[in-house]
A and B are shown apart, each in its own frame.
Chain A
Amino acid sequence: MAISSDSSKQPLITKTLIKCMSCDYSIERDFQEGDFVPKLVGTCPKDGGKLYIAGIYAIKLQPQQAKR
């Protein structure tokens, strides 16, 4: 069937990107339920600025990661 050849069959993993409001600090972690843009999630370890969720997105799992 034509469907199985689709790239959408590739497994996706959802990530949450956290950024600092005052410096260039950013960290990517796995998505947790309750996350939303632009929720405040603590203070920056670098300069104590406010950390916020800048984005939630899905990335394709690398083949070697998918096998694990």
Chain B
Amino acid sequence: MLFDIFNIVAMAQGLGGSSSSEFLLTTILYIVFMGFIVASFFPGFQQKMQIGFLSRDVEKNLYMIEGYLKDSKSMAEKLLKDKNFPEPQQFINKVMERFVIDPVNIEPTDIISRMKLLLRANEDTVREMITKYSPNIDPMTRSQIEISAEVVNALNMIFKIIRHYLLMAKKLNSIMIMYQLQMVAPIYVKLAEAYARAQKVFLQGIPVGDGLGPLVASRFLMNINDKWVPSKDIIAGTMEFEGRRLIVVKAEGPMATVGTPGEAVQNIIEKEGSKVSRIITVDAALKLEGEDTGSIAEGMGVAMGDPGPEKIAIERVATKYNIPIDAVIVKMSMEEAITEMRKEVYDSADKVVNYVKDLIRERTKPGDSVVLVGVGNTAGIAQ
């Protein structure tokens, strides 16, 4: 191998043997070099060069994002084709460009109910679109299509925004926009990669890191026979734990859904009233760089990554009956939360089960009612 390289170098040297061609080459190089130095005195030349370099870097990142978008689209298309969905392309194009407009926030009265209406109605509309095309679809496949639609939509948004700023920076010849773009683009490539991988994981029905909450709830619910549905896509069960009435809540698995845990807790507590002495929320939480994946922490408040409506429902009902809310979280990175559950996170689930049991023993008395909520996406985790 090494000898081959030496041979090629020797051949190349042998080709440019004559002295006149050598002189010509030196002269040309000299002229180019001098021209470069003179040009660099003109204002704007350096900046143009720099913009050129930066934009090439951003373009490279943009191509990567576009690649993930294409992969994700073809994966969604394949899923729809396999399920005999008529006109998959048309459906994908429709959901890819879907958006929800934020409610007016300069008038904050009832903003939560407006927001809840918009988010719920959007979910329901996508679901109706799917069931309209394919009326006898099973809930598992339906949730897979919903997730795929969300991923394609998110990737499309990332791609379009990065492309927008790139084109704008080129158009305005703005080095400042280009610099900022070059700084953030790799972060979005990473996010896009995580989204594309998440879609693959969801389609196989593998639990994700965010499934930590539902997994903990499932450990309690699997021994309960009598379960009911307190709100859309949610399962609840009651058990006796050392003299306490423990009500466990999680999204209905093994479909990929987060359900409506806020509304569920609200409905349950409105029925139980002041008998409930404690609400415990368990969720996956984003770690800071340097923190260990799977480490457990505890605090006060509703542990839930929700845009608002579900979280506030718990806060409101807790305030009404003056019930403290405990939060137990397990830390992981964004990527670990939306892709395959890591072993470290799985191991933490059983530790959290014991943690929650200790917490109930310490902070409640026999005869009390306690509501335990396992928050998160329940893909691959039933009850």
Which A residues are closer than 8 A to B by beta carbons? Answer: 1-3, 6, 8, 12, 14, 17, 31, 33-39, 52, 55-59
| Bound-complex Cα distance A36 to B189 (A) | 31
B363-383 contacts to A, CB under 8 A, are 380-383
Instruction: Find chain A residues with CB under 8 A from B383 CB.
Output: 38
Interface residue ranges, B against A (CB under 8 Å) = 186, 189-190, 193, 204-207, 215, 218, 222, 253-254, 335, 339-343, 345-346, 349, 380-383
Pairs A–B under 8 Å by Cβ, sample size 27: A2-B186, A6-B190, A12-B340, A14-B204, A14-B206, A17-B346, A33-B204, A33-B205, A34-B205, A37-B207, A37-B254, A37-B380, A37-B381, A37-B382, A38-B218, A38-B222, A38-B382, A38-B383, A52-B222, A55-B346, A56-B207, A56-B341, A56-B346, A57-B340, A57-B341, A57-B343, A58-B339
Contact B205 A36 (CB under 8 A): yes
Enumerate chain B residues within 8 angstroms of A37, measured Cβ to Cβ: 207, 215, 218, 253-254, 380-382
Whether B206 and A56, one on each chain, are in contact in the complex, defined by CB atoms closer than 8 angstroms, is yes
Least CB distance from A15 to B in Å reads 8
**Residue of B190, B193, B254, B341 touching A36 (CB-CB under 8 A):** B254
Residue of B nearest to A2 (CB): B186
Across the interface, name the chain A residue whose C-beta is closest to B211.
Answer: A37
What chain B residues lie within 8 Å of A17 (beta carbons)? Answer: 346
CA distance A55 to B222 in the complex (A): 13
In the assembly, what is the distance between CA of A57 and CA of B381, in Å?
12
Q: Which residues of A contact B189 (CB under 8 A)?
A: 1, 3
Interface pair B193/A56, CB less than 8 Å apart: no
Task: Name 19 extra pairs, CB < 8 A, besides A55-B349, A56-B346, A57-B343.
Answer: A1-B189, A2-B186, A14-B206, A14-B340, A31-B204, A31-B206, A33-B204, A36-B205, A36-B381, A37-B253, A37-B382, A38-B218, A55-B346, A56-B206, A56-B380, A57-B341, A58-B339, A58-B340, A59-B343
Smallest CB separation, B353 vs chain A (Å): 12
Inter-subunit contact A58/B343 (CB<8 Å): yes
Contacts of A39 in B (CB 8 A): 382
Q: How far is the CA of A35 from the CA of B380 in the complex (A)?
A: 7
Most central of A34, A52, A57 by chain B CB within 10 Å: A57
Q: In whole angstroms, how far apart are the Cα atoms of A34 and B205 in the complex? A: 7
Question: Can you name the residue of chain B whose Cβ is closest to the Cβ of A31?
Answer: B206
Q: Which of A2, A14, A36, A39 has the most C-beta atoms of chain B within 10 angstroms of its own C-beta?
A: A36
Q: Do residues B342 and A58 form an inter-chain contact, with CB atoms below 8 A?
A: yes
Residues in B with CB closer than 8 Å to A52 are 222
Known pairs A8-B335, A35-B205, A38-B222; A57 contacts B342 (CB<8 A): yes
Closest to A16 in B: B206
Whether A58 lies near B341 (C-beta < 8 A) is yes
**Which 8 A-B residue pairs are closest in the complex by CB-CB distance?**
A58-B340, A36-B254, A57-B346, A37-B381, A38-B222, A57-B343, A55-B346, A36-B380
Q: With a CB–CB cut-off of 8 A, which chain A residues contact B349?
A: 55
Instruction: Collect the chain B residues with CB atoms within 8 Å of residue A33's CB.
Output: 204-205
| Chain B contacts for A14, CB-based, 8 A | 204, 206, 340
Write out the residue numbers on chain B whose beta carbons fall within 8 Å of the beta carbon of A3.
Answer: 186, 189-190, 193
Does the CB pair B215–A36 fall under 8 Å? no
Q: Once bound together, how far apart are the Cα atoms of A58 and B189, in whole Å?
A: 23
- CA separation between A32 and B118, bound complex, in Å? 38
Q: Which residues of A contact B382 (CB under 8 A)?
A: 36-39
How far does the alpha carbon of A14 sit from the alpha carbon of B206 in the complex, in Å? 8
Complex Cα–Cα for A67 and B189 (A): 27
Contact partner, B215, options A35, A55, A58, Cβ 8 Å: A55
Min CB–CB distance A56 → chain B (angstroms)? 5
